[in-house]
Structure 1
Amino acid sequence: MQKFTLLLLSLVLLAPLGIDLYLPTLPQIAEGLHTPVSRIQTTIPLFLLVMGLGQIVAGPLVDNFGRKPIALIGLLLYLLGSALGALAVNWPMFLTARLIQGCAVCCTAVVAFSGVRDRLDGEEAARAYGFLNGALNIVPALAPMLGGFLADAFGWRAPFWFLTSYALVIGALIILFLPETRPAETQSVKGLPVRQYLQILRQPRFLAFSFANAGAMGMVLTYVSLAPQVLMTEGQLSALQFSIAFGANGFWIMLVSVLVNKIIRKVGRPFCLAMGSLTMLVGATLLYGGVTLLPEGWQTHWALYMFPVAIAVAGLAFTVGPATSYALEPYQQQAGVASALAGFIQMAGGSSAGLLMMALPLHEKTALTLMMLIGTALSFIAWRCSKTARGRLTAL
């Protein structure tokens, strides 16, 4: 069973690697493709937007056609997208490559988590989900460092060749060792469960908590997308220095997540939602205050970006777990559909908000400040809704 879990982990890692591995190379990619860095930045939220949309479609596909065929289709798409990104000579080619990668991870992520549900239950399933989610938290801390090393040694195309090789190796392992886990009694789904989606979307409680997640995700995506421009182009950090700063913030989010689990047992979910709103507000205040109050010569220092961000991204850890649990609690008999819809709102809503912030004619720090304030407001609304929500959770 340990081998089975490791195979699923290899599929889960495709998404965070596709986002974080090439972050240190964004300015180099823009220079190599002779296009503004702002265009390259948009490929991060676009990748996640496609991933969010795909969750609505991929669920029925794995139930209709099986886990293994959809996993292999996803890996083939990922290989093609990564190779196209490595060979890109202009902006349209690179954008197409990122969209193909986004389509690929829809398939592989759904297969991975479906596989756990198929083969494991009880404490074993809980440990497997914890293992997979733990890996998702570690990769954003480590992948930029690997990408920075590869880019320093071989140029900006090297991270994409690494992803191509990774997809090729994992594809071979999946063909050889991953069994088909789709239960024989699985009912096929005809089309999309639109009626169920619409019924859930009519519930204000579900929308309030799901949009709180989308606001926190949009804030983090905006930070991630703008970080190379702020820290490397303006702040003159090297790719390696950027990777270290970015990785340290990833470990910080992990630490806060552990703290949140302990806080929930003591004071409950409403307190965590309130803290999520407060930390994003404090981060926005410090970030904008640094822009307006401090001397111009200080504006490009990395600390004026990373310290406010570190406070604000703690809001993600405080918000996402409690808000997700509140959103899904009423849907025990529709857990799959509700989870897919909540994931869609979080990914698609957050990435759309990030794209909007980058499209506005604002300086990078001002755009991030605005997104932090939006996240603050949505988490505050979720906190108010939690005061009337029934149920109690002592741990996540």
Structure 2
Amino acid sequence: MHTSNPPQKTQMILLTLLVLFSPLAIDIYLPALPLISEAFHVEHALSQGTITWFLFAMGVGQLFAGPLADKLGRRTVALCGIGIYGLSALLAWGAQNIEWMLTARMLQGLGACATSVAAFATVRDIFGPEKSGRMISYLNGAICFIPALAPILGSWLTQQFGWRSNFSFMALYALIVFALLFVSMKETNPQMSKESVFKFSRYMTILKTPSFLFHASLCMLAMAVILAYVTSAPVVLMGQLGLDMNQFTFWFGINAALNITASMTAPKCMDKLGTRATLLIGLAILMVAGILMLSLAGVESAIAFMLPVFLSSIGFAWILGAAAGKALAPFGDKAGTAAALLGLFQMSGSGLVIGVVQLSGLEPKMMIAIQMLIVLPWFVALFTKPARAWHQPLPQ
């Protein structure tokens, strides 16, 4: 397998295209969810299942994509993932019932997980244990452009061509990125793994690392807040408050713009204050957002719902960049497997957290507030001696 050290700027552009697959698959068709429910004559909860099935498959699939990225290379896994993503988008475009749609979305989640694992493992390959956290923050900032722009595009596509056009757009994006990566992406894994692809000890070595568990679970809880918001926003803003598709897109876009700004400032905070201080600030902002959401729960207006969400998105951006970088930092040749387990925590883990909270039967605002506040034990833990040791500078 040919490996090289291509220009970092070119690689970052390619990696940005790779990490956009997952948020694009979630955000572009959010304005069309009510129409999908009508088309298949199902309750709104079932159309929301097209998001949760996607996320569950994306999380579990990373257990396979990660070791394959270490064994076969980041480039091979990325290209295969894009192919699966594009074909399943076409399958969703042609869906005739909700079961067909859910199956297509599950397959699309498997494709998206491969692109995500390949991207973050490549970041670890190129930038090393310390700088990778900063680069992940920049990638997260790029990811946040999708919630800002995709609902606007999705709203226009839906109004002009129907809800199915959202999935044909995903297929077209996959085709374009596949062609670009096929020509330009170079393999960055410095040494292919010689171990069996699915050797259980590969996972256990990583899961026995306390710093990984701590920071991966932080990523999981932060992601749960965002997913709780994404899945509840159409219900609250369009269902309960009566906003139309364009108004929903407006509020969604403002939140994404704040998230972009926060993601771009997080690396600068990590440079000046360190990752531990960045995490403490992010967690504090998230908990303040939870208290504010509880305080405004009885106010029936869009700003009362979105103001705590705005704060939480800033906290989320600062948490995710610092925590993801620290979770991957101890691993070199196992970066693919580590990125996969991190993705499992973020996607399937956060989905499980949301599912447990939803069993309480609480209304959306209360559920989101709980997600924001359950990070308190992690905030306290950052003041302990082991946590301080994890955040000492690592050799490059």
Q: TM-score, normalised by structure 1?
A: 0.84
Residue 193 (structure 2) pairs with residue 201 (structure 1): no
1:354 corresponds in structure 2 to 354
2:266 corresponds in structure 1 to 260
In terms of mean alpha carbon deviation, does 233-242 or 189-198 score higher? 189-198
2:345 corresponds in structure 1 to 345
Q: 1:337 to 1:196 in 2, by over 3 A?
A: same
Q: CA–CA distance in 1 between the matches of 2:38 and 2:239?
A: 11
In terms of mean alpha carbon deviation, does 65-74 or 35-44 score higher? 65-74
Q: CA–CA distance in 2 between the matches of 1:333 and 1:172?
A: 27
Q: CA–CA distance in 2 between the matches of 1:68 and 1:270?
A: 33
In terms of mean alpha carbon deviation, does 42-51 or 128-137 score higher? 128-137
1:317 corresponds in structure 2 to 317
Kindly indicate whether the alpha-carbon contact (under 8 Å) linking 1:283 and 1:309 is maintained by their aligned counterparts in 2. Answer: yes
Per-residue displacement from partner, 1:137-165 (whole Å, max 9, x unpaired)? 32222111111111122222221121122
Unaligned runs of 5+ in 1: none
1:93 corresponds in structure 2 to 100
Kindly indicate whether the alpha-carbon contact (under 8 Å) linking 2:219 and 2:324 is maintained by their aligned counterparts in 1. Answer: yes
**Residue from 6, 10, 31 that aligns with 1:24:** 31
1:142 corresponds in structure 2 to 149
Q: CA–CA distance in 2 between the matches of 1:270 and 1:67?
A: 30
Q: CA–CA distance in 2 between the matches of 1:4 and 1:202?
A: 31
Q: CA–CA distance in 2 between the matches of 1:62 and 1:333?
A: 10
1:55 corresponds in structure 2 to 62
Unaligned runs of 5+ in 2: 1-6
1:219 corresponds in structure 2 to 225
Residue 157 (structure 2) pairs with residue 158 (structure 1): no
Kindly indicate whether the alpha-carbon contact (under 8 Å) linking 1:45 and 1:352 is maintained by their aligned counterparts in 2. Answer: no
The alpha carbon displacement at 1:383 in A equals 5.2
Per-residue displacement from partner, 1:91-126 (whole Å, max 9, x unpaired)? 2112111101101112233344556777x678xx97
How many aligned positions are there? 384
Per-residue displacement from partner, 1:56-102 (whole Å, max 9, x unpaired)? 21133244445555444323322232122222232211211110110
The alpha carbon displacement at 1:131 in A equals 6.6
The alpha carbon displacement at 1:217 in A equals 0.7
Identity %: 35
Kindly indicate whether the alpha-carbon contact (under 8 Å) linking 2:289 and 2:308 is maintained by their aligned counterparts in 1. Answer: yes
Kindly indicate whether the alpha-carbon contact (under 8 Å) linking 2:218 and 2:378 is maintained by their aligned counterparts in 1. Answer: yes
**Residue from 3, 21, 28 that aligns with 1:14:** 21
In terms of mean alpha carbon deviation, does 305-314 or 355-364 score higher? 355-364
Q: CA–CA distance in 2 between the matches of 1:272 and 1:11?
A: 26
Q: CA–CA distance in 1 between the matches of 2:185 and 2:277?
A: 43
- Look up the equivalent residue of 1:100 and give its one-letter code: L
Q: CA–CA distance in 1 between the matches of 2:278 and 2:14?
A: 34
2:3 corresponds in structure 1 to none
Kindly indicate whether the alpha-carbon contact (under 8 Å) linking 1:208 and 1:381 is maintained by their aligned counterparts in 2. Answer: no
2:244 corresponds in structure 1 to 238
- Look up the equivalent residue of 1:78 and give its one-letter code: Y
- Look up the equivalent residue of 2:342 and give its one-letter code: A
Q: TM-score, normalised by structure 2?
A: 0.84
2:368 corresponds in structure 1 to 368
Q: Secondary structure at the match of 1:42?
A: helix
